[in-house]
Chains A and B, each alone.
Chain A
């Protein structure tokens, strides 16, 4: 089976989520990549070094600069003429593009897979991860998105993919990119951080969220996350949200501060290796999944913890 993996990048580097998608794709067969963007020579060279990749298709055109699904999907459909499966990471870009590709190919997409059981059979979470379904696809071609935390990342060195330019399918004139506000963040990305410190509604304000959570995260070299309640209340920006509809994370250590542990939040972090919970309510559901719990006032505990680390 020949697979085509869509490479998520920022114009300079390949994003980690791509590497997990490559691992998933390699379980299906030969892995080819698609690097679409504008001025993406460096990305293509980096992509070709990913262990185990064959061809790296490169589409360099202004139409692909912002990964608009309206322009990228027809390009992928064109390439799917000689591939058997399309694989994308379950990132916001991946989730935006893949179903459009699936519809154009008349294929029912398999979203957010956790494992590859065979060429046509996969497991995936449903009901916020409260159930795991094994599904078998009868479509001739497969369209798949991959949950990054469920697959090891492919090595970024050792590959010798062959770079091949592909013709642009052009700008479809349906949409234009008007701007982005991407937070400048020195911290590790949530989806690849080894340690994450997350804050909940108990932080009670944006100021306190940053005053307590940020220094602790700095001490641990951690990424910063938040519960939906904290994001809804405006204590933390939306891209911090961990949960069913936010980011799915699985770090070595997840520190939940003032997070009660709603089902929707647990869905996003319960695959973390070690969960540490700090909460004043000893009956909070977060303690049912935590490996280490500390009951008490976070406004006292967190500063003390930060200082003693």
Chain B
């Protein structure tokens, strides 16, 4: 069984985003970039499925040259080979899904595991779009994945609790936070990853037009909240709650 895992290079989870003064976006110059946390979970899940019949994990990233660092991280974690689709301009989820659909045609994976959203644009679209383009089943926001004969049971985090759907293979899965805890790559594996194969392509190789459909007119900081007052004790807090009409 072959698994395809798309990964994205994003501003590191621990870095506070700063809006650029000219309002064109968030400043990404000289800040730490990492693999999107949900994508790390996707890579980890693919690796864990190696005990359950997965024989090859192919990772793919669509983005600038430096995305190869993200792919190397995935290879160091345990993926087998990588495809970098080089684009110095930003590709929207729809364009990404179209490129991935072409890669799926070539690679014929049984499963594509993606992060449910990237923590930069917070779109939460690519997996569902890819499933739609391929006419495959989609198990989004997964907290548990079980491969069965020709199908996969996916437990999903939904409003109010959890839901389990059974999907015919091949299928799409998108990961939620509690699916697993991704491993750190060991030093020997980081060294080994350097010699794993990485192919470089361009969107045009797949005949996909990635012209953006959305134009960002401006990016601003949200209205700031200012710190309020501190109360000394519970009685004072109760008093405030009563004034607000929250407590009687």
Interface residues of A (CB under 8 A from B): 66, 68-70, 73, 91-93, 95-104, 106-112, 121, 125-139, 172-183, 185, 191, 195, 219-220, 228, 231-232, 237-239, 244-245, 247, 252-253, 263, 270, 274-276, 282, 287-295, 301, 304-305, 308-309
Chain A CB within 8 A of B33 CB: no
**Which residues of chain B from 150 to 203 have any CB-CB distance to chain A below 8 Å in the complex?**
153, 156-168, 171, 176-178
Chain A CB within 8 A of B67 CB: no
Question: CB distance B132 to A101 under 8 Å?
Answer: yes
| Among B19, B136, B140, B162, contact of A180 (Cβ-Cβ < 8 Å) | B162
Contacts A108-B212, A232-B177 given; does A289 touch B165 at CB 8 Å: no
15 more A-B residue pairs beyond the given contacts A92-B140, A174-B137, with a C-beta to C-beta distance below 8 A: A95-B124, A99-B125, A99-B126, A112-B122, A112-B124, A130-B19, A130-B26, A174-B171, A175-B165, A178-B165, A238-B161, A239-B161, A294-B237, A304-B234, A308-B234
Question: CB distance B176 to A245 under 8 Å?
Answer: yes
Question: CB distance B218 to A127 under 8 Å?
Answer: no
Chain A CB within 8 A of B143 CB: yes
Question: CB distance A195 to B132 under 8 Å?
Answer: no
Question: CB distance B228 to A130 under 8 Å?
Answer: no
Question: CB distance A111 to B213 under 8 Å?
Answer: no
Question: CB distance A293 to B161 under 8 Å?
Answer: no
| Among A102, A111, A131, A238, contact of B178 (Cβ-Cβ < 8 Å) | A238
CA distance A73 to B227 in the complex (A): 45
Question: CB distance A100 to B129 under 8 Å?
Answer: yes
Q: 30 pairs across A/B with beta carbons < 8 Å? A: A92-B158, A97-B128, A99-B126, A100-B132, A103-B128, A103-B130, A103-B131, A108-B212, A109-B125, A111-B122, A112-B122, A127-B26, A130-B19, A132-B222, A133-B219, A134-B219, A175-B138, A175-B166, A180-B162, A181-B161, A181-B162, A220-B247, A232-B178, A238-B176, A239-B159, A287-B230, A288-B225, A288-B227, A291-B228, A293-B230
| Among B140, B164, B217, B247, contact of A309 (Cβ-Cβ < 8 Å) | B247
* Chain B residues closer than 8 Å to A137, beta-carbon distance: 213-214
Tell me which of B42-50, B76-84, B102-110, B238-246 binds A.
B238-246
Closest residue to A138 on the B side, CB-wise? B213
Interface of B is mostly: mixed
CA distance A183 to B161 in the complex (A): 6
* Chain B residues closer than 8 Å to A73, beta-carbon distance: 132
Binary A-proximity of B209-232 (CB < 8 A = 1, otherwise 0):
000111111111110010111110
Question: CB distance A93 to B132 under 8 Å?
Answer: no
B contact residues, range:
35 or more
Question: CB distance B122 to A96 under 8 Å?
Answer: no
Question: CB distance A103 to B94 under 8 Å?
Answer: yes
Contacts A112-B122, A132-B219, A182-B161 given; does A293 touch B129 at CB 8 Å: no
